[in-house]
Amino acid sequence: MSEILVLGAGMVGVSSALALQAQGHQVVLVDRHSSCRETSYGNAGVIQTEAAEPYALPRNLMTLFRYGCGFSNDVLWQPGALLRMKPALWRYFRHSAPAEHARISRIYSQLTSRAADDHAPLVAAAGAQSLISTDGLSEVYRQQSGFESAAKEAARFKEQYGISSRILDGATYREEEPALKQAPAGVIHWNESWSCRDPGALTDDYRALFLQRGGSYRQGDAQTLSQSAKGWRVEGESGPIEAEQVVIALGPWSPQLLRRFGYRIPMIYKRGYHGHFNAPLALKRPFLDADNGVVVASMAKGMRVTSGAALVALDSKTQPTQLERGAEALRSLVDLGERIDEPQWFGTRPCMPDMLPLVGAAPNHQGMWFNFGHGHQGFTLGPTTGQLLAEIMAGVDSEITRGLAPGTRL
């Protein structure tokens, strides 16, 4: 058993720390913050067992044209950022070809299908049951044509992946969701997905569980990582921290650190925003307003609206256009109430061109391991890839671990 530094205490880092600790390692978790604040804090909180297929880059010209012209609220982009991400986007485009996307989905669906089961023991041991609902996620369609094609997709998902859903006309759905002001065209209710009313609190509860089980947590700057006689060293706020092995779980900040070690990680940064509203009626379950590219969920702080993907640089200035547009459009469907005054949060989905997280040994450094690049579903997948990483570090080799391995993919 060895001493291991896990850098990053988002859902992925905390879950990795727990899984490695369960194998008997001595683990030190390091983050710059004292509590969860970044991507794992501000997301839509859905544990997406329905997300069997990762988001591909659309390849049909009409959709690309709509995105390009800014006609869709799903995606926004900045020309400079597109240029910088060009090599990664080109690879993303190629991996989005139907046959390749099907290959990737065969791996991805094996991750998402076990995600709730992997969260379950952690939720129970952390005593976090009150944060979780097992009542699913809905996709609300305002247009009949959109609903009909979504219903076909839901039937395909049932046949291909065994994922169950309820396909409901809008009037029927409205009877079970009184917060809706009007009946949409139709709804897909993915009834096996879970949701969390405070994703940051769940991540911190998992961290508390890790501490309770004997782990240690230190604030420090991961960017100070260097090789040392023992193995690896970072500067903590109260002095250096050393260990034999290191796990990089810094989500969207991972490539920045790894560049110093000679790795060029082709990441696509998809920013999203959230805002809270003091809605008078809580929602029964979160839903995606499919025509407006926003997810809305009743959470601890109020009704949280989260926006789609903005392809912008990691450090570009705040521009919550998609959130504002989406919230405005939502008002015809639910009474959002007033926006709660708070600093504007945003976070970045760390997306790999082949849509799979990078989990496994760093190709060129002994004792360095990767676990990042979880894109749109890192809150869902943290416990799953945490366990897989622990297995890989223990020498387990399987089709799935090979599929996620960095060595063959960078």
Q: By CB under 6 A, name the one of 54, 140, 349, 353 that touches ligand FAD.
A: 349
Token pair 């782990």: residue: 215
Judged by CB under 6 A, does residue 13 bind ligand FAD?
A: yes
Q: What does DSSP assign to residue 334? A: B
Q: By CB under 6 A, name the one of 3, 153, 221, 324 that touches ligand FAD.
A: 221
Judged by CB under 6 A, does residue 376 bind ligand FAD?
A: yes
Binding-site string for ligand FAD from residue 274 to residue 313, where x marks contact by CB under 6 A and - marks none? x-------------------------------x-------
Token pair 């917060």: residue: 179
Token pair 């709660």: residue: 340
| Per-residue exposure over 16-44, b if at least 16 CB sit within 10 Å of its own CB, e if not | bbbbbbeeebebbbbbbeeebbbbbbbbb
Q: By CB under 6 A, name the one of 378, 383, 386, 403 that touches ligand FAD.
A: 378
Considering CB under 6 A, how many residues would be counted as binding ligand FAD?
38
Judged by CB under 6 A, does residue 266 bind ligand FAD?
A: no
Q: How far is the CB of 377 from ligand FAD (least distance, A)?
A: 4
Stretch that binds ligand FAD, among 95-103, 141-149, 171-179, 218-226 (CB under 6 A): 218-226
Q: How far is the CB of 408 from ligand FAD (least distance, A)?
A: 21
CB of 185 or CB of 368, closer to ligand FAD: 368
Judged by CB under 6 A, does residue 48 bind ligand FAD?
A: yes
Q: By CB under 6 A, name the one of 23, 78, 134, 223 that touches ligand FAD.
A: 223
Question: How long a stretch of residues is the chain?
Answer: 410
> How is residue 137 written in tokens?
């996620």
Q: How far is the CB of 91 from ligand FAD (least distance, A)?
A: 19
Judged by CB under 6 A, does residue 272 bind ligand FAD?
A: yes
CB of 179 or CB of 305, closer to ligand FAD: 305
Identify the helix (H) or strand (E) that includes residue 356.
Answer: none
Contact call for residues 143 and 207 (beta carbons, < 8 A)? no
- Of 105, 116, 100, residue with least CA distance to 156: 105
3-state secondary structure of 137: strand
CB of 38 or CB of 198, closer to ligand FAD: 38
Backbone angles phi, psi at 353, to 5 degrees: -60, -30
CB of 13 or CB of 184, closer to ligand FAD: 13
Q: How far is the CB of 275 from ligand FAD (least distance, A)?
A: 11
3-state secondary structure of 381: helix
Which amino acid, one-letter code, is at 271?
R
Q: How far is the CB of 193 from ligand FAD (least distance, A)?
A: 9
The contacts of residue 113 (CB under 8 Å, 6+ apart) are 49, 52, 161, 162, 163
| Per-residue exposure over 298-316, b if at least 16 CB sit within 10 Å of its own CB, e if not | bbeebbbbbbbbbbbeeee
Q: How far is the CB of 61 from ligand FAD (least distance, A)?
A: 27
Q: How far is the CB of 152 from ligand FAD (least distance, A)?
A: 24
C-alpha distances in Å from residue 372, one per residue of 6, 217, 352, 382, 404 = 12, 19, 9, 9, 11
> How is residue 300 written in tokens?
């601890």
What is the distance between the alpha carbons of residues 196 and 295, in angstroms, rounded to a whole number?
13
Which amino acid, one-letter code, is at 241?
I
Count H helices and E strands in the chain, helices first: 14, 21
Q: By CB under 6 A, name the one of 253, 277, 369, 370 that touches ligand FAD.
A: 253
- Of 394, 393, 397, 407, residue with least CA distance to 362: 407
CB of 96 or CB of 112, closer to ligand FAD: 112
Judged by CB under 6 A, does residue 46 bind ligand FAD?
A: yes
Judged by CB under 6 A, does residue 44 bind ligand FAD?
A: yes
Stretch that binds ligand FAD, among 144-152, 158-166, 235-243, 342-350 (CB under 6 A): 342-350
3-state secondary structure of 57: coil
CB of 154 or CB of 358, closer to ligand FAD: 358
What is the distance between the alpha carbons of residues 106 and 96, in angstroms, rounded to a whole number?
14
CB of 96 or CB of 348, closer to ligand FAD: 348
Judged by CB under 6 A, does residue 31 bind ligand FAD?
A: yes
Q: How far is the CB of 5 from ligand FAD (least distance, A)?
A: 11
Which residues are at the interface with ligand FAD (CB under 6 A)? 8-13, 31-33, 38-40, 43-46, 48, 221-223, 249-251, 253, 272, 274, 306, 347, 349-350, 372, 374-380
